[in-house]
Amino acid sequence: MSSNRQKSLLLLAGAAAAAGFVAVGYRTWHSSRKRTLLGQMRKRMLLDDSGLIEVRDDFCKQMVAGLNGETSSLLMIPSMVDIIPSGNERGRYLALDLGGTNFRCVYIKLGDGKGQIEDVKIEQCEIPEHHFTSPAADLFTFMAEKMVAFAKTLGFSRGHASERPVVGFCFSFPCQHISLNSGKLIRWTKKFNNPGAVGEDPVRMLEDAFDRIDFPVDVDCMVNDTVGVLAAARYLDSSVMIGMILGTGTNACYVEKIDNVRKLAQTPRRRRQTMIINIEWGAFTSKTLPRLEFDRDLDSSSANPGEMQLEKLTSGMYLGEVTRRILLQFAEQTGLFGGSVPELQTPGSLTTPDTSRIDHDSTFFGGPTGDILRSELGLSHWQTFWDRQLVRDIVRLVAQRSSQLIAAGIAALLRQMERDGTFGPMQRTVVAVDGGMFAHYRAFREELLSALERIMGAEAAHQIVLKHQQDGSSMGAVTMAGAAAGAPSQWRSEAGG
């Protein structure tokens, strides 16, 4: 080989090595910036042991304030539910379940044997987008029409006076309950913002909607979804003390001693010693909550700025969107996905079902994660193995923060009920949970259990059973309708409802 040829080969090899060196250096620099930012976020989003305790303690403090009728972000609403299905109910009942994304028509036929369910039908109906903001009367007419069509397929017909179908209403929005079947809507949450409902009685509005379409019914009870879940689960197991929702939104209720509900003190002595309290915990606001800049941005562009802080950090409606905002921050600050990523700019383009699929991607190379980023976000930029790993880490971080806060809430409830092991031997306590996020997001459930262990100690946490109550809110509302029809509630008769 001539020396000239040798020289140019050497030069070429040198240039290639230098280019490789620059590329690797550039990558390393980038990935170290990504790792640094991830580390910073992890520190600010996750709580250490004392942070967890602070959230729990502020939660406890605000619960007591809410029960006393003092200023608190927790409404602590007495559910006025003093009848729980006993299993002795008979007959055919209907219920409507209005949650956050869908609404359901429910039917149950209760047989002669104790607790015997002869038939159940649940039909899930999608809510057309315009009904999230249409006048409330239109939304209620839409629901009544769906229910009548459903009821007719089951042989129900228009009845007079005492033969009217009995309907339970699972209405998952904060209401001030006046009796078992009357109340006032305090505010809309989640995606709903229908004018003409706040301050009104949802039961009356529903009965009016049925009247408008000439199919009168008796709406005998209105329960919140958490209360429905608790009622459905307690029917089978008396150690169920908490009902919890983790779906589009989040909320919980629990069994409280009536003497602790100071704001009810004016009312005459009650027959029962306990009352189910709907916490409306999605609205929990506290300096102890780890909220970052992207949380505040999400909040200010939401339908209800300033409200529902805990819900925005934890529930299915928001986790996907929080993740999208974090990915955008990484793209802008660390050059993830090439830096400028118009695909990441669209609010709502990444949903919680998407991020839970990413979290469940257990492949080494993260192929499914890449597929989801391409199909859901339309990301066309080339992703490296490390990019996909980073996305998986971010998704898990968002789920971990949510699980920590939910665990702190559960721990606060257990303390309030004196069932967290600090007041005596730890008792087995069941938390009945319904909602799409809890049902489908396995990795989240695991994180929740480990966060509970951290905050309560492993021994105490092992006495807590998180039980998925499938269709709990719907089943609770329909069996409650049966109970309300058979055994008039004292709350109901006193209110003259």
Q: Which is nearer to Mg ion, 383 or 473 (CB)?
A: 473
Q: Which does 497 bind (CB under 5 to 8 A by kind): ligand ADP, Mg ion, none?
A: none
Q: Are strands 102-110 and 91-98 parallel, antiparallel or unpaired?
A: antiparallel
174 binds, among ligand ADP, Mg ion, none (CB under 5 to 8 A by kind): none
The interface partner of residue 101, options being Mg ion, ligand ADP, none and the CB cut-off 5 to 8 Å by kind, is ligand ADP
Measured from the CB atom, the residue of 312 and 492 that comes closer to Mg ion is 312
Closest contact distance (angstroms) between CB of 441 and ligand ADP is: 4
Give 36 or 346: the residue with its C-beta nearer to ligand ADP: 346
Taking the C-alpha atoms of residue 413 and residue 281, their distance in angstroms, rounded to an integer, is 11
Q: In terms of CB distance, is 472 or 497 closer to ligand ADP? A: 472
Q: Minimum distance from CB of 103 to Mg ion (Å)?
A: 9
Q: Does 282 bind Mg ion (CB under 5 A)?
A: no
Q: Is 130 helix (H, G, I), strand (E, B) or coil?
A: helix
Q: Which is nearer to Mg ion, 473 or 479 (CB)?
A: 473
Q: How far is the CB of 354 from ligand ADP (least distance, A)?
A: 8
Give min distance, CB of 192 to ligand ADP, in A.
11
User: How far is the C-alpha of 142 from the C-alpha of 259, rounded, in Å?
Assistant: 41
Our CB check for ligand ADP shows the closer of 212 and 468 to be 468
115: left (phi over 0), alpha (psi -120 to 50) or beta: left
Nearest CA to 79 out of 163, 150, 157, 177 is that of 177
**Minimum CB distance to ligand ADP smaller for 229 or for 390:** 229
What is the smallest separation between the CB atom of 281 and ligand ADP, expressed in angstroms?
A: 15
Residue 115 binds which of ligand ADP, Mg ion, none (CB < 5-8 A, kind-dependent): none
Q: How far is the CB of 339 from ligand ADP (least distance, A)?
A: 29
Q: From ligand ADP, Mg ion, none, which one binds at residue 400 (CB under 5 to 8 Å depending on kind)?
A: none
Q: Which span (124-132, 331-339, 447-455, 471-479) binds Mg ion, by CB under 5 A?
A: 471-479
CA distances in angstroms from 284 to 75, 134, 218, 280, listed in the order given: 9, 28, 34, 8
- Helix %, strand %, coil % of the chain (to 5): 50, 15, 35
User: 429-434 and 240-246 as β-strands: parallel, antiparallel, unpaired?
Assistant: parallel
Nearer to ligand ADP, 144 or 372 (CB): 372
Choice between 100 and 482, CB closer to ligand ADP: 100
How many Cα neighbours within 13 Å face the side chain of 61?
11
**Residues with Cβ within 8 Å of residue 460, at least 6 apart in sequence:** 420, 421, 426
- The piece of 276-284, 359-367, 372-380, 466-474 that touches Mg ion (CB under 5 A) is 466-474
Residue among 72 and 402 whose Cβ is closer to ligand ADP:
402
For residue 22 the two structure tokens come to 């620059």
Residues 6+ apart with CB under 8 A from 465: 428, 429, 430, 431
Distance CA 408, CA 156 (A): 46
* Smallest gap from residue 247 Cβ to Mg ion (A): 5
Residue 226 binding result from Mg ion, ligand ADP, none, given CB thresholds of 5 to 8 Å by partner type = none
Of 127 and 341, which CB lies nearer to ligand ADP in the complex structure? 127
Question: Dmax over Cα atoms in the chain, in whole Å?
Answer: 109
Q: Interface with ligand ADP by CB under 6 A: which residues?
A: 99-102, 247-248, 316-317, 352-353, 356, 435-437, 440-441
Show the binding pattern over residues 422-461: x = contacts Mg ion (CB under 5 A), - = does not. Answer: ----------------------------------------
Among the residue ranges 121-129, 217-225, 269-277, 485-493, the one whose residues contact Mg ion (CB under 5 A): 217-225
| Least gap, CB of 449 to ligand ADP (angstroms) | 17
Alpha helices in 351-486 (DSSP H): 352-359, 367-377, 385-416, 436-440, 442-456, 458-461, 472-486
Of 240, 230, 209, 253, nearest to 66 by C-alpha is: 253
Least CB distance to ligand ADP at residue 103 (A): 8
Out of 66, 78, 85, 99, the only residue in the binding site for Mg ion (CB under 5 A) is: 99
Instruction: State the nearest-atom distance from the C-beta of 285 to Mg ion, in Å.
Output: 23
Q: The sheet that has 240-246: what strands, in order across it?
A: 77-78, 274-278, 250-257, 240-246, 429-434, 464-468
Query: Going by DSSP bridges, is the β-strand pair 102-110/429-434 parallel, antiparallel, or unpaired?
Result: unpaired
To ligand ADP, the closest distance from the beta carbon of 97 in angstroms equals 7
Looking at residue 379, its amino acid is L
Q: Give residue number: closest CB to Mg ion.
A: 99
Judged by CB under 5 A, the stretch of 40-48, 96-104, 234-242, 394-402 that binds Mg ion is 96-104
Q: Which one-letter DSSP state was computed for residue 140? A: H
Number of C-beta neighbours around residue 3 at 10 A? 7
How many whole angstroms separate alpha carbon 45 and alpha carbon 152? 51
Q: Which residues bind Mg ion (CB under 5 A)?
A: 99, 225, 473
